[in-house]
A and B are shown apart, each in its own frame.
Chain A
């Protein structure tokens, strides 16, 4: 069976302002309809402002990332796509002609990339519309029908999402990535599945749809060209409308918006900014610094993360530094659900912290604690945090012995368990001492001292 899958992918571009007005793009946490104005709410008389330059820039970076080329110094018109829906305040969506065409990404052909505005958010059940989302800039990436299985689509989208995040091109919000999928089997009619609201649902929707079409063929029933909707809860696709009544969006150029021009200089800058793609960079890092490929691929999770590694690695043993960044540092960021770029950490600051740790001035435990403090305090130097919090490694063996004695005295059961051969009890005691001494002694050192006391 031959499967052909093509995707139309919508991603929300990471900008502070909307595409045609200066309203904030915050819609996840903001009060409904608080970030709106006459322009993005489509009030009579509202007119679009100049196209947000940052949105165009991000869309161009996406184009460069997927290898698509713009026509330079040629007008790109913004069009009006007409349809009626409660979330569309003007009754049309503003969507640009292709910004760039003919690329290739992860082995899949790219037809074009353009920008457009997001409609509002319509809660069908409550009959409620929130226009905070209206006017948020989107990029649409249209692929050739080159994918042969749901897994191909999953791989493609996974890589795309990684790259988009690496370059910080998309908004960090639920619903920031959506896709329409076109799928046909054995050269049959093309079925479109509309508005799949997350990348992970694309795999499920396609898997179901291919099986449905297969069953249809086996039963001798024709596959009709139609538009279907993926129902997330039941995991099935359902018919929205047949294609005979083809949509006619009556595209016309928007008279209110002068066309966008991409200059040679701008495109040159964009190409430079995305010249090295994450996979290529991971390979280079592995080779150049002789570190594990696995670790290198974690370093390229975000551009700024890899940049930080490269700007500090000269001072340290490369593999160990990579381990630390991938391990303790990444772990703390993940706990707090932070990206490196939003954490307030800098290459300098993590380099200083790691320096304290690798030179033995602080323990790993202390380094974790300092890191946590650094995530809330972007100014104080790590060494000062260490000192003021009493986290510098201590050489005071008397203090260590006191703490160990105290632990032994207060935890008789653990001591006797250890004596009976339970190693875990020793870890428990070590933990108690660490707590008492605020992580200023090595675990190993504590264990030795404890063993000495217990005998």
Chain B
């Protein structure tokens, strides 16, 4: 047995034995992964990802495999094609070992809205893994996969990365083609990597980044991306990033800032008052775009067709959070209310984006904690959706501004390893990675 085959089969065994406790995988692509490993062992198609075991969030299309999006609506749907990122991973010798769990249609921050299964935090099984890419973070944290793909609309990569103590990167909007990624909010969605170290995340981004004619929002991106960066970027901390943050997380953050200053980094404190409005702007944008994206699920096309009408079927097959978002989104895009709600949202988003861009024109990078809160217990889920939405306050600005943002663990709170978030200007993904590498290097708690 060749080395790749050996490693992949032992990983598959490990998953089969241990994933019952974690609940990361919706489906294991056992046969295909082993065949792929054998192919690589026979010397065919080496590449930059050669032999890496990769898990993909189950809202990314893999030809011939179930694409559930964590929803009852798509429980039996099989994707007829490969996502652009899947093609790129395969072309570089990556081995896709399976699909992992997520919040239903990526709506949520703890993966509990999945209609398929429950995913637990590998650091403590009583706790949520974060979300919506909870399966991606858990599969990497548990050592099941080397790298996982997630999608990030308002923090869905960075939140679970922070909760599970791994690295997560949301690239610049338009850098990675979304062809094959099921829509949540089209103007915010971006595919990105989660990994156990910055180097792997960077490697994966270098493979999946670059324009593709099947996603027009990538049209201004280069064909290939160079992620090397040399030098010492200047850093700013918007004070709004620390308002309301858990003290234990804040203290990890302050010790990081001290260390960075000790390394000779220039760290300034600034204020971006517009960030205060990020949550309403974000959620109204999501509601509007999401309600449009969900239009196709009318019960006529996917899965078993019931006798009832469209509304009964949508009532039955969509989960609570999805229904809430569809209803609110439909409301704010009706003729009567569109100007008052969606129209204003678009204007406010432009103002917020300008404020973030201005800050990033004066400083190379922004820094703060990724999440203001620590993972919560499964079942303890905040029953108030507004409270749940507020948990995203630190991650949504990057999506609204279309800028890159990465999360890297620093420090320790009990069993958890809170993430620190680095944000840069559009297409400064290399610079963001450079500081993430520094933080990783300075993190005394890393295993």
Contacts and interface: CB of A to CB of B under 8 A. Distances in A.
Contacts of A37: 81
Given A44-B182, A82-B295, A256-B216, A250 B81 contact: no
Most buried by B among A43, A47, A86, A258: A47
A47 B213 CA distance: 10
B106 to A, nearest CB: 12
Interface residues on B, range: 35 or more
Interface stretch (A87-95, A261-269, A292-300): A87-95
B177 to A, nearest CB: 8
Contacts of A86: 300
Contact of B298 (A44, A47, A84, A256): A84
A399 interface: no
A38 interface: yes
A454 interface: no
A92 B183 CA distance: 14
Nearest to B334: A248
Contacts of B181: 45
Contact of A46 (B179, B310, B342): B179
B213 A43 contact: no
A46 B301 CA distance: 15
B186 to A, nearest CB: 4
Interface stretch (B33-41, B72-80, B160-168, B364-372): B72-80
B415 interface: no
A448 to B, nearest CB: 71
A42 B298 CA distance: 12
A49 B295 contact: no
B214 interface: yes
A443 interface: no
Interface string A18-58: 00000000000000000001110011111111100000000
Interface string B119-141: 00000000000000000000000
Interface in B172-200: 178-183, 185-187
Most buried by B among A44, A84, A86: A44
Nearest to A256: B186
Contact of B295 (A50, A91, A258): A91
Contacts of B215: 47, 256
A38 B81 contact: yes
B219 interface: yes
Nearest to B294: A91
B295 A90 contact: yes
A257 interface: yes
A80 interface: yes
Given A89-B301, A248-B334, A250-B335, A44 B74 contact: yes
Contacts of A90: 295-296
Given A44-B74, A44-B77, A47-B178, A252 B292 contact: yes
A45 B61 contact: yes
A337 B181 CA distance: 46
B289 interface: yes
B217 interface: yes
B216 A48 contact: yes
Nearest to B335: A248
A47 B216 contact: yes
Contact of A49 (B216, B294, B335): B216
Contacts of B297: 91
Nearest to A89: B296
Which secondary structure dominates chain A's binding surface? Answer: loop
Contacts of B300: 86
B187 A45 contact: no
A314 interface: no
B439 interface: no
A250 B67 contact: no
A252 B183 CA distance: 15
A255 interface: yes
B19 to A, nearest CB: 25
Contacts of A257: 216
Nearest to B105: A44
A84 B80 contact: no
Contacts of B219: 50, 258
Contacts of A250: 291-292, 330, 333-335, 338
A39 B187 CA distance: 18
Interface string B208-243: 000001111101000000000000000000000000
Nearest to B292: A80
Interface string A61-80: 00000000000000000001
Contacts of A92: 292, 295
Interface in B277-302: 288-289, 291-292, 294-298, 300-301
Contacts of A89: 296, 301
Most buried by B among A37, A48, A250: A250
A115 to B, nearest CB: 16
B60 A45 contact: yes
A121 to B, nearest CB: 15
Contact of B187 (A42, A46, A48, A255): A255
B204 interface: no
Nearest to A246: B335
B63 to A, nearest CB: 10
B295 A84 contact: yes
B216 A38 contact: no
Contacts of A46: 179-180
B292 A45 contact: no
B398 interface: no
B362 to A, nearest CB: 29
B304 to A, nearest CB: 16
A48 B183 CA distance: 12
Contacts of B15: none
A256 B301 contact: no
A248 B291 CA distance: 14
Contacts of B295: 82, 84, 90-92
Given A44-B77, A45-B60, A45-B67, A82 B216 contact: no
B191 to A, nearest CB: 11
A44 to B, nearest CB: 4
B83 interface: yes
Given A47-B179, A89-B301, A248-B334, A258 B61 contact: no
B24 interface: no
Contacts of A84: 295, 298, 310
Nearest to B291: A250
Interface in A126-141: none
A437 to B, nearest CB: 62
Most buried by A among B214, B291, B298: B214
A281 B183 CA distance: 51
B250 interface: no
Interface string B285-325: 00011011011111011000000001000000000000000
B79 A44 contact: yes
B387 to A, nearest CB: 28
A90 B300 CA distance: 11
B405 to A, nearest CB: 20
A15 B134 CA distance: 45
A50 B180 CA distance: 16
8 contacts: A38-B180, A45-B79, A45-B181, A90-B295, A91-B298, A92-B292, A248-B335, A255-B186
Interface of B: 59-61, 67, 69, 74, 77, 79-81, 83, 178-183, 185-187, 213-217, 219, 288-289, 291-292, 294-298, 300-301, 310, 330, 333-336, 338, 342
Interface of A: 37-39, 42-50, 80, 82, 84, 86, 89-92, 248, 250, 252, 254-258
A-B pairs with lowest CB-CB distance, top 9: A91-B295, A255-B186, A255-B187, A250-B333, A45-B180, A44-B182, A91-B296, A45-B61, A90-B296
